């Protein structure tokens, strides 16, 4: 099994008139494939997975696989609340091209999501799925946080190979890294901390920012790996305002608008999310221009 490393963008799902535009998806992939990205996340939070039907999720995975070279990994977001439905979706995703499953923590019954609940859920899923499992911890959306001790226990399972930790907390990331073996792949889940995450021992990142600035995200990773730490940190600092704008400030709508501004296809989010208004777009454009991203792309 090829281990997780480097940079993965969590692909957006392009819509036209509320329907998925596979032509726009292909257009984005044609551009992304020119970069040395390790692969793509399909059906993640930034892909608006909560607004997709099962058939749409599977068709998206198949389409991305069709337009992506075999050396790039496809990581499918297949986590659902129940063990049974998660196993079924994951195994079908594997049949249409997924290499890994990104499985978010169950969270509807927040107060009942204890250490034992997480152990039981992930172990039962990992035992029955055909592809390796990556835990997805994203407290801002789920309201639950899986502890380092729980992750360490789950990391002992041969089919649980990594975690995407999207909490903007480097100390938490360090704690996870210090409690798991070196072959367990800990991935940063936000562009604001990719450099300190690498310093802490993360293998790479799943970054919304890489949808907008794939070259720059890869450059941080490459600079770090050749020991140019000052340069990597400087580039990280330049990109932090961009990452904030497309995540915390404007969310998926901002990410999609930023993609439009730098030459990819973002489009509108699916309802009930709303696109940015003109003032917000102008503010976003200033942020991208200050980071030289619009100038570099156009």
How many whole angstroms separate alpha carbon 265 and alpha carbon 114?
40
What distance, in Å, lies between the first and last C-alpha atoms of the chain?
Answer: 38
Closest by CA position to 42, among listed 68, 64, 26: 64
Exactly one of 72, 164, 203, 281 is catalytic; which is it?
A: 164
Please indicate whether residue 164 is annotated as part of the active site.
yes
> How far from chain centre, in Å, is Cα 227?
26
Q: E strand or H helix at 74, and its extent? A: strand 73-77
Torsion, CA 261, CA 192, CA 276, CA 35, rounded to 10: 30
- Residue 83, C-beta contacts closer than 8 angstroms, at least 6 positions apart: 121, 124, 125
Q: Which residues are catalytic?
A: 164
């Amino acid at each position: 099994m090829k281990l997780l490393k480097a940079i993965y963008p969590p692909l957006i799902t392009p819509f036209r008139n509320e329907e998925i535009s596979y032509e726009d998806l292909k257009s984005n992939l044609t551009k992304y494939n020119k970069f040395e990205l390790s692969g793509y996340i399909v059906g993640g939070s930034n892909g608006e997975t909560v607004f997709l039907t099962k058939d749409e999720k599977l068709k998206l995975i198949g389409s991305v696989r069709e337009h992506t070279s075999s050396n790039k990994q496809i990581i499918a977001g297949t986590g659902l609340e129940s063990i049974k439905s998660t196993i079924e979706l994951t195994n079908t995703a594997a049949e249409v091209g997924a290499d890994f499953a990104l499985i978010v923590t169950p969270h509807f019954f927040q107060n009942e999501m204890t250490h034992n609940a997480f152990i039981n859920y992930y172990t039962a899923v990992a035992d029955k799925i055909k592809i390796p499992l990556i835990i997805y911890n994203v407290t801002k959306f789920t309201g639950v946080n899986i502890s380092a001790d729980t992750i360490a226990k789950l990391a002992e399972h041969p089919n649980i190979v990594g975690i995407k930790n999207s909490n903007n907390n480097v100390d938490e990331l360090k704690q996870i890294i210090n409690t798991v073996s070196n072959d367990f792949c800990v991935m940063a889940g936000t562009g604001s901390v990719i450099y300190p995450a690498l310093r802490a021992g993360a293998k790479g990142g799943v970054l919304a920012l890489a949808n907008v600035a794939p070259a720059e995200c890869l450059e941080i990773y490459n600079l770090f790996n050749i020991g140019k730490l000052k340069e990597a940190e400087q580039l990280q600092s330049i990109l932090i305002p961009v990452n904030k704008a497309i995540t915390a400030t404007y969310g998926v709508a901002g990410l999609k608008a930023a993609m439009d501004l730098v030459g990819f296809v973002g489009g509108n989010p699916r309802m009930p999310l709303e696109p940015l208004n003109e003032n917000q777009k102008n503010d976003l454009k200033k942020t991208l221009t200050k980071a030289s991203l619009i100038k570099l792309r156009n």
